[in-house]
Amino acid sequence: MSEFTEAAPPHASFDTVLVLDMGSQTSHLILRRLRSLGVYSEMLPCTQKIKELGWKPVGIVLSGGPSSVYESDAPTVDPEVFELGVPVLGVCFGNQVIAYRVNPSNVAAGKVREYGETPLTIRKVGNHGDRLFDGLGETLNVVMSHFDKVVSLPEGFEIIATTQNSEFAGIAHKTLPVFGIQFHPEISHTERGTDILANFAIKICGAKADWKMDNFCEKEIIRIRNLVGDKAQVIGAVSGGVDSTVAAKLMKEAIGDRFHAILVDTGLMRLNECEQVKETLDKHLGINLTVVDGSELFFSRLAGVTEPEAKRKIIGGTFIDLFEIEALRIEKEAENTDRAGPVEWFLQGTLYADIVESLSFKGGASSTIKSHHNAGGLPARMQNGEAQLKLLEPLRELFKDEVRAFGRQLKIHEELIGRHPFPGPGLGIRILGEVTRERVNIVRQADHIFISMIREAGIYDEV
């Protein structure tokens, strides 16, 4: 039976700062900044119940968001966030949530919309509240993006930063490790923004900055071996892209020849893609690789389909159909050999950004812009536990830059690590309307011309 495997996730091994998403388009940047500091972080929707979390973060960040706290349907957080006994940092809308929780009259619509960079004055209060801006001087240029604002100092709090239009641009509780800032430290144009997050995560929360790919690599190989066991076999989709290549190399390191890589020729690939990928993977990875020609099946199922999300679902479902057929073939061929064992697992190079991209959190966009081919593009039976393969996603906690670093840790050739991202659905998602062979060929030639020109110009690695 298919299932998503969450055994021994990183938060079981690393101090973790939890980001509760209130709908901001930059929530994921908070994670990126924290992880760049070596502090592991995860994001969940603000609707997450703390009792159902199953683990304890070392700190919690409430993200920004486009809503107004005084609206009836405004997103909020579980009150137990503030009863868990860990430091809390509210960012922009998250700051307003903290103030509103103390007293609804603390937040109101502002007289002036405040967008872009603005000077912030830091105030020393002589207690633990000074730790958030410790070592950052007296003034900073920060990025604001708000209309509503805190208009009254919440009871029990002190002012730790101000701007011309926001008297309470930074607040801290006098005795509890609860902080609020009206600006966005995750935005690159905020001066010393990463240092502010470092002060919160490392100095205030006490998180160890040990989230490094060498640590993750060792733990993940052990986790995979324990999860898969001594006999089960794993099949995995490879495309020649960074994600699937790193995932395949990891599986090779973990279980050796019990991993079988499958490259599906969908008919939607770039010029000479299959031949080049096969040659490159054989040369650099030395894995069991099978090429399956599924082009006729893909084109027949896509015939007459014009809606983009429907095309994604068809492509994702067809991939799984072909992999289930290959799983049976591999099992049969391995009978009565020392490789005999069931094919129980399906490997995907899903990343954390894929998961975030496919979700709509309360307070954010009301609908999914597009499902990701690795996440939302999977058929329902794969997500509901009704397929013959269990899903294995060892990279699902990583962002792209972390995957590249992980690949270097695994000593994968830079030629593979530096490849441009190319989605699993291939050229099909670049075509408006029905996907036909003629249209794919046109896009394929255009893509080849473009890639050839930037290679000739010596800027392939820069764009």
As a whole number of angstroms, the distance between CA 429 and CA 431 comes to 5
As a whole number of angstroms, the distance between CA 75 and CA 361 comes to 9
Q: 270: which DSSP letter?
A: P
Q: 81: which DSSP letter?
A: G
Nearest-5° angle of CA 162, CA 167, CA 172? 70
Query: 227: helix, coil or strand?
Result: helix
Nearest to 283 by CA among 87, 92, 416, 88: 416
Compute the residue count for the chain: 463
As a whole number of angstroms, the distance between CA 267 and CA 258 comes to 28
The residue with tokens 């076999």 is 233
Query: Catalytic one among 28, 184, 260, 372?
Result: 184
Burial of residue 78 (CB within 10 Å: 0-12, 13-18, 19+) is: middle
As a whole number of angstroms, the distance between CA 272 and CA 268 comes to 11
Q: What is the pLDDT of residues 260-278, one digit of tens each?
A: 999 999 999 999 988 888 8
Helix H or strand E encompassing 429: none
Query: Catalytic one among 92, 158, 173, 220?
Result: 92
Nearest to 435 by CA among 268, 187, 231, 316: 268
Contact between 184 and 25 under an 8 Å Cβ cutoff? The reply is no
Indicate the Cα dihedral angle 431, 437, 438, 442, nearest 10°: 50
Nearest to 129 by CA among 75, 72, 62, 199: 199
Helix H or strand E encompassing 412: none
Contact between 155 and 103 under an 8 Å Cβ cutoff? The reply is yes
Query: Catalytic one among 42, 158, 186, 220?
Result: 186
Q: Answer yes or no: 186 catalytic.
A: yes
Helix H or strand E encompassing 141: strand 139-150
**Residues in the annotated binding site for ATP:** 239-245
**Residues in the annotated binding site:** 239-245
User: Phi/psi at 98 (nearest 5 deg)?
Assistant: -60, -50
Neighbouring residues of 449: CB distance < 8 A, sequence distance ≥ 6: none
Q: What is the pLDDT of residues 393-442, one digit of tens each?
A: 999 999 999 999 999 999 998 888 888 877 778 899 899 999 999 999 99
C-alpha dist (Å) from residue 106 to 147, 151, 386: 14, 5, 50
Structure tokens at 238: 């490879």
* Full pLDDT tens readout for the chain, 463 residues: 233 344 568 898 899 999 999 988 899 999 999 999 999 999 999 999 999 999 999 999 999 998 999 888 899 999 999 999 999 999 999 999 999 999 999 999 877 777 889 999 999 999 999 999 999 999 999 999 878 889 999 999 999 999 998 999 999 999 999 999 999 999 999 999 999 999 999 999 999 999 999 888 888 999 999 999 998 999 998 988 899 999 999 999 999 989 999 999 999 999 998 888 888 888 888 887 899 999 999 999 999 999 998 999 999 899 989 998 999 999 898 888 877 788 999 998 889 988 876 554 543 433 344 444 454 455 565 555 566 788 899 999 999 999 999 999 999 988 888 888 777 788 998 999 999 999 999 999 999 999 999 999 999 888 8
| Its pTM surpasses 0.85 | no
C-alpha dist (Å) from residue 141 to 120, 198, 335: 6, 17, 67
As a whole number of angstroms, the distance between CA 64 and CA 183 comes to 9
As a whole number of angstroms, the distance between CA 31 and CA 10 comes to 14
Tell me the H-state helices in 213-291: 213-228, 242-255, 273-284
> Helices 213-228 & 400-409, crossing angle to 10 degrees?
80
